[in-house]
Amino acid sequence: MCGRYLMTSPKDAMIKTFGVRADAHIPPRYNIAPNQPVLIVRNAEGGRRELAAVEWGLVPEWKKERGDKPLINARMETVIEKPSFRSPMKRTRCLVPFDGWFEWKSLQGRKQPFLITPVGGGLQAFAGIWTTWHGPTGDHWLETMAILTGPTLGPMRSLHSRMPLVVKPGQYDAWLKPHDPLPRGFLESFDFMPETAFEWRMVSSRMNDVRSEGPECIEAPEQERQHSLF
DNA sequence: CCAGACGTTGTT
DNA sequence: GTCTGG
DNA sequence: CCAGACGTTGTT
DNA sequence: GTCTGG
């Protein structure tokens, strides 16, 4: 799946890769967690694309209360029919810029994080959906997003049985274009990035704590502690 | 008609 | 909001 | 996703 | 165990 990710590319790369405007500084994010504000790319007025800051964890528009369990992922097998996802899937899809994502394995009773990155590095985009939620009083609103996942089919299964859908650069326009209703075979018309396009390595478990927000999150793990006590 | 659900993952 | 179940 | 908290009263 | 916070 995908429950923590990396977005460290500078503003220039965002502009070049996604064709968006970006005036403000975009700080590198080494440890993006659910419920945090993140940048997405979406369609805007006048056929342009825009960068928008939304919260990771989709809150369906019909929810009375905000609720506690954030919908951070949506399964590609069911996203078209699920009540929480079907409307955003038709009309408000988005790209979620990233440079890598994290998975954990339990090794020797510890949660060992791994960083998965595109072979050769570089900025990529998860397939995402977003929506707007209006609070009960109507005086405030919140934009949120979820990342689509699919089955992991090859060697990456040693890390996790699910992985995020990564949109190929040539299909950004197709992913962002709204449809209502969604054409038959819409998802099948996409050729998402294969897992062979990614590689992974162990990183420091300091990134397990979301308060770690710097480059230490992608450093190699510390040397294994020696059995020095007896 | 009204009431109730509406999600994913991992773990058991 | 929209669907399912009763 | 993981980490961390999880409670009230009275006294200082 | 389960919820909250990040």
pLDDT band at residue A202, thresholds of 50, 70 and 90? very high
- Main-chain dihedrals φ then ψ at residue A160, nearest 5 degrees: -165, 150
- CATH number (3.30.379.10, 3.30.390.30, 3.90.1680.10, 3.40.630.10) of A5-218 reads 3.90.1680.10
User: What pLDDT, in 10s, does the model give residues A19-56?
Assistant: 999 999 999 999 999 999 999 999 998 889 999 999 99
User: Which residue gives the smallest C-alpha to C1' distance to C4?
Assistant: A83
Q: Predicted ipTM?
A: 0.85
Write out residues whose CB is closer than 7 A to strand D: A 1, 3-4, 33-35, 70, 72, 104, 111, 205, 208-210
Amino acid A209 CA to nucleotide D9 C1' distance, rounded Å: 34
Tokens 């945090």 belong to which residue? A36
* A227 CB-contact burial (10 Å; exposed 0-12 / middle 13-18 / buried 19+): exposed
Pairing relationship of beta strands A49-56 and A141-151 according to DSSP bridges: parallel
Which nucleotide's C1' atom has the smallest distance to the CA of A4?
D1
User: What pLDDT, in 10s, does the model give residues A80-101?
Assistant: 999 999 999 999 999 999 999 9
Residue A103 per-residue DSSP state: E
Residue A160 per-residue DSSP state: -
Residue A64's pLDDT is: 86
pLDDT at A228 over 60: no
Summarize the confidence of residues A155-162 as an average pLDDT: 94
Q: Which residues of A are catalytic?
A: 2, 103
| Tally of helices (H runs) and strands (E runs) in chain A | 3, 12
Residue A183's pLDDT is: 93
Which nucleotide's C1' atom has the smallest distance to the CA of A106?
B10
User: What pLDDT, in 10s, does the model give residues A165-184?
Assistant: 999 999 999 999 999 999 99
pLDDT band at residue A138, thresholds of 50, 70 and 90? low
- Please state, in angstroms and rounded to a whole number, the distance separating the CA atoms of residues A42 and A96: 9
- Please state, in angstroms and rounded to a whole number, the distance separating the CA atoms of residues A125 and A173: 12
Between the CA of residue A213 and those of A19, A116, A210, A218, what are the distances in Å?
27, 17, 7, 10
Residue spans of the domains in chain A: they are 5-218
pLDDT at A153 over 50: yes
